[in-house]
């Protein structure tokens, strides 16, 4: 798919909600202006378990704003957007990466602040209620066996967690959107947002080893399938002569799968920047090493894993010159 490109220097990604806030990180000269760490403008920002980013794209004389994810239920993203003096009415598109509370938590109140005609992109699967369960051992069972064995696994204490999914309430979303003349775009396919900017659609699974282990999604308390996060959406931005910028929410489908999917979708192999949550907190050091080595071979200019990425990934990734710590207020000028 030919998605076009945007000129180098016309893309800014700003972290407006994440797990950490800081005013003391230094901006390393090695990034050559690609990364600017926050200073006084981050004073008073609030952190929570979640993530949100403002993506600013300059096309000729026009500026376009995309809000990628809305962080958690504490609505810190609203507080922080006000702190950074970002005008809600200038946001043209909102992307919800998947149906977990730490990524859609502030969606409803944000819809009330958006301009008429703003579009919210979301997978319909993020609006579907269901059940989830995870085995303590992390071992995968055939889905039909898991459903049959669910009660016994629960009785034997073999489940780490289980319950109803924390999906977005579809009726509330549409009611609020209709009240404010905001458009909800339910989509499972790639969407061209602007020239050079495209959503992933459903992410192809090239390697099932990257998927969460022992995690199941059910349509009832006894009928389950392996949870492969068909609702997850990533964002790909093609920078002219630089390559793809990959924006992720949590990377439940695996950051390598997301990269491979973007390369296949766009026909662009070069990866310029990786920014977002990589979901490596619960992985073994060996598994994380494999991912870090994969990224090192790609040799991007920026690798910033935040939110659910975990300390071990950042410790290992630090050996590569692309690695950067991202906090609320960190800006990427690409």
Here the tokens at position 214 are 């022992």
The total domain count for the chain is 1
Cα 188 → chain centroid: 16
Task: Indicate whether 313 belongs to any domain.
Answer: yes
Q: CA dist 297 to 201, 240, 312, Å?
A: 26, 21, 19
Q: Are the beta carbons of 310 and 250 closer than 8 angstroms?
A: no
In a domain, 3, yes or no: no
- Whether the CA torsion 297, 265, 32, 292 is positive or negative: it is negative
Question: What's the pLDDT score for residue 152?
Answer: 79
Which residue, 301, 299, 309, 253, is CA-closest to 276? Answer: 309
- 289: containing domain: 11-333
Say if residues 288 and 313 touch (Cβ distance below 8 Å): yes
CA distance linking residue 48 with residue 43, whole number of Å: 15
Q: Does residue 131 belong to any structural domain of this protein? A: yes
Q: Which residues of the chain have pLDDT under 50?
A: none
Flag whether 2 is in a domain: no
Please report the pLDDT score of residue 10 as a whole number.
97
Domain presence at residue 4: no
The residues pairing with 235 across neighbouring beta strands, listed in sequence order, are: 199, 247
Please tell me the distance from the alpha carbon of residue 199 to that of residue 303, in angstroms, as a whole number. 19
Contact 42, 329 (CB under 8 A): yes
Q: Is the residue at 96 inside a domain?
A: yes
Output the domain CATH number for residue 202: 3.60.15.10
User: Counting Cβ atoms within 10 Å, is residue 26 exposed (0-12), middle (13-18) or buried (19+)?
Assistant: exposed
191 lies in a domain?
yes
CA gap 19, 26 in Å, rounded: 18
What are the residues facing 237 on neighbouring strands? 197, 245
Do the beta carbons of residue 18 and residue 50 sit within 8 Å?
yes
171 vs 69, 71, 94, 163, 167, CA distance in Å?
19, 20, 18, 21, 12
77: part of which helix (H) or strand (E)? Answer: helix 76-83
Note the pTM of the prediction, 2 decimals: 0.95
The single-letter DSSP state of residue 115 is: P
- Among 275, 259, 302, which Cα is nearest to 54's? 275
Alpha helices in 98-248 (DSSP H): 101-104, 107-111, 143-155, 170-179
**Residue 5 included in any domain:** no
CA distance 296 to 302: 11
Q: Strands 11-17 and 119-122: what pairing? A: unpaired
What does the pLDDT look like over 170-194, one tens digit per residue?
999 999 999 999 999 999 999 999 9
The pair of structure tokens assigned to 119 is 């579009």
């Amino acid at each position: 798919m030919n998605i076009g490109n945007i000129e180098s220097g016309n893309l800014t990604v700003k972290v407006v909600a994440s797990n950490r806030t800081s005013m003391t990180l230094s901006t390393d000269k090695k990034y050559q202006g690609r990364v600017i760490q926050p200073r006084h403008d981050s004073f008073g920002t609030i952190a929570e378990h979640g993530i949100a980013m403002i993506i600013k794209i300059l096309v000729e004389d026009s500026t376009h704003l995309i809000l990628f994810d809305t962080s958690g239920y504490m609505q810190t993203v609203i507080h922080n957007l006000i702190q950074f003096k970002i005008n809600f009415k200038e946001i043209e598109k909102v992307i919800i990466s998947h149906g977990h509370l730490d990524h859609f938590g502030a969606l409803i109140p944000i819809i009330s602040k958006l301009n008429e005609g703003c579009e919210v992109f979301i997978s319909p699967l993020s609006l579907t209620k269901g059940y989830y369960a995870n085995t303590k051992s992390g071992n995968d069972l055939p889905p039909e066996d898991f459903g049959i064995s669910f009660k016994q696994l629960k009785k034997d204490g073999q489940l780490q967690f289980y319950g109803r999914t924390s999906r977005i309430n579809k009726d509330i979303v549409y009611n609020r959107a209709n009240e404010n003349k905001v458009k909800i775009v339910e989509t499972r396919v790639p969407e061209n947002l602007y020239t050079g900017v495209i959503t992933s659609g459903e992410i192809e699974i090239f390697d099932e080893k990257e998927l969460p282990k022992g995690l199941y999604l059910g349509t009832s308390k006894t009928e389950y399938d392996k949870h492969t996060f068909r609702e997850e959406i990533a964002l790909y931005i093609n920078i002219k002569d630089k390559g793809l910028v990959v924006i992720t929410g949590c990377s439940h489908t695996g950051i390598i799968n997301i990269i491979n999917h973007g390369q296949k979708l766009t026909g662009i192999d070069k990866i310029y920047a990786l920014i977002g949550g990589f979901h490596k907190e619960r992985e073994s050091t060996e598994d994380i090493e494999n991912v870090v080595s994969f990224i090192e071979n790609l040799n991007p200019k920026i690798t910033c894993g935040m939110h659910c990425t975990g300390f071990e990934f950042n410790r290992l990734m630090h050996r590569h010159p692309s690695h950067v710590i991202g906090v609320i207020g960190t800006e990427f000028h690409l």
